[in-house]
Amino acid sequence: MTTMTGTAPGLREFKMPDVGEGLTEAEILKWYVQPGDTVTDGQVVCEVETAKAAVELPIPYDGVVRELRFPEGTTVDVGQVIIAVDVSGGTSAVEPAAQAPVAEAPATTEAPAGGEPAEPKPEGRQPVLVGYGVAESSTKRRPRKGAEPRDRADGRPTADAQQAAAALQSELNGHGTAGQDTAGSGTADHGGARQRPLAKPPVRKLAKDLGVDLASVTPSGPDGVITRDDVHAAVAPAAEPEAPSVAEAPAAAPAPVAPASYDGARETRIPVKGVRKATAQAMVNSAFTAPHVTEFVTVDVTRTMKLVEELKQSPEKYGTEGLRVNPLLLIARALLVALKRHPDVNAAWDEANQEIVRKHYVNLGIAAATPRGLIVPNIKDAHAKTLPELARSLAELVTTARDGKTSPAAMQGGTITITNVGVFGVDTGTPLLNPGESAILAVGSIKLQPWVHKGKVKPRQVTTLALSFDHRLIDGELGSKFLADVAAILEQPKRLIAWT
């Protein structure tokens, strides 16, 4: 898949890539090049933030930057051209139009269509995103293989799909609503086959969310493309109330709603977008989809804390040289051992098929607070890792998250999560499930508390664990046994050996 087209000889246009995970837009965080700069194949030209992570985009060819289509801070639809590069090898100065400030570029610039050059060479710095863009322009459609070209409304054969769309639009303009009932509607041709309406992925998603059938929408865009305004216009008539009949008394007009106001001098409005927007939507979906249950247990973890210190003080004795050893490492190991004893906890609910999907692998999520919001990357196949391997994976996960370099793939496919709220001095909480997972364990702060130990009150290292789980998958007995096992291991870490 490529993202470049050419509107002039030697000019290549680079489009906002499609990461292949259902994302339809991304925000340009920072440009690393300006008009007139020379770029090479594989060079990172900008950083963008999707709803899942911040990633860097490499350019797939050599040349001179001619134009930046959008300024920093602009949210751009997948498939729109964001940068134009002259690959002809000339040394002419940048045209005046390209030297204009990028802030003047309209946010609704359409992506021109064009050809597709070869895939970039997989050398040097590899792109974080999958591919370099959509497979074809969103304003054109390729004819199906083996299919004959469709006839126009006037009976003459068309040259390609774009000419056919233009002919249909012309027919609409000439015959009004009568044409919409035939070929102009985009739903049927002379052969009776249903033709898919032309619309970009974000517009299709908008129509799906609003319950609008694109086949019933009248397009207003170039070449018969349906725009966002067309979809909203199709919804507007349905939203208008019907006029009351003469036999009915007119209803009292509702009082006008005062527009929201705020004190600009003492309040700040922050747009919700990117990772924070995706997190908010995921939490809403989780809270109102999965029936949550949360259970708590307070446990004496003094022996676990002593083991952590021993592993730190004598790394040569335990083979932990160069490893980051902390309580989270042993808590993660305790959870994995408890999952092995209670495999039904490691499952997912398939609503479409009404099935419970038991996972025979553990992708252990670790909630991480970053400057861009909360993310939950996961350690793939954590169940199969030794303690040193688990320690290295945890260290790498945390470092990558803090640097803002977590890839979208690292946040996909989690099965169960740990959130360590104790690092903020919090005793515990009632965490919400990461969507698609069955349980999440919250770990509170570990601190000295008076505790009855061997019949006497002594100061001991104590923490509170909270387990939230999906009650469709995990009943009270299973959830209680699982949480009790995690606590038992942390109270007596020798069980890590006995129960493995």
Instruction: Tell me the catalytic residues.
Output: 471
What's the chain's length in residues? 500
Cα-based angle 354, 360, 364 (whole degrees, multiple of 5): 100
Alpha helices for 314-386 (secondary structure H): 315-318, 327-341
Instruction: Give yes or no for a contact between 475 and 438, defined as CB atoms under 8 angstroms apart.
Output: no
Give the closest residue to 97 by CA, choosing from 107, 84, 80: 84
Instruction: Give yes or no for a contact between 431 and 419, defined as CB atoms under 8 angstroms apart.
Output: yes
Torsion of CA 184, 187, 189, 191, to 10 degrees: -170
Which tokens sit at 290? 């999965």
Which tokens sit at 389? 């391997």
The full DSSP string for 281-294 is: HHHHHHHHHS-EEE
Q: Is 258 exposed, middle or buried (0-12, 13-18, 19+ CB in 10 A)?
A: exposed
Which tokens sit at 222? 């170039």
The full DSSP string for 405-457 is: ---GGGGSS--EEEEEGGGGT-----PPPPTT-SEEEEE---EEEEEEETTEE
CA 411 to centroid of chain Cα atoms:
9
Give Cα separations from 136 to 32, 101, 127, 132, 140 (angstroms): 27, 29, 20, 11, 8
Using only C-alpha atoms, the chain has a radius of gyration, in whole angstroms, of 29
Q: Beta partners for 77?
A: 25
Q: Which amino acid is at 77?
A: D
The full DSSP string for 169-214 is: HHHHHHHTHHHHTTGGGSS--TT-PPPPPPB-HHHHHHHHHHT--G
Give Cα separations from 167 to 144, 157, 162, 224 (angstroms): 19, 11, 9, 9
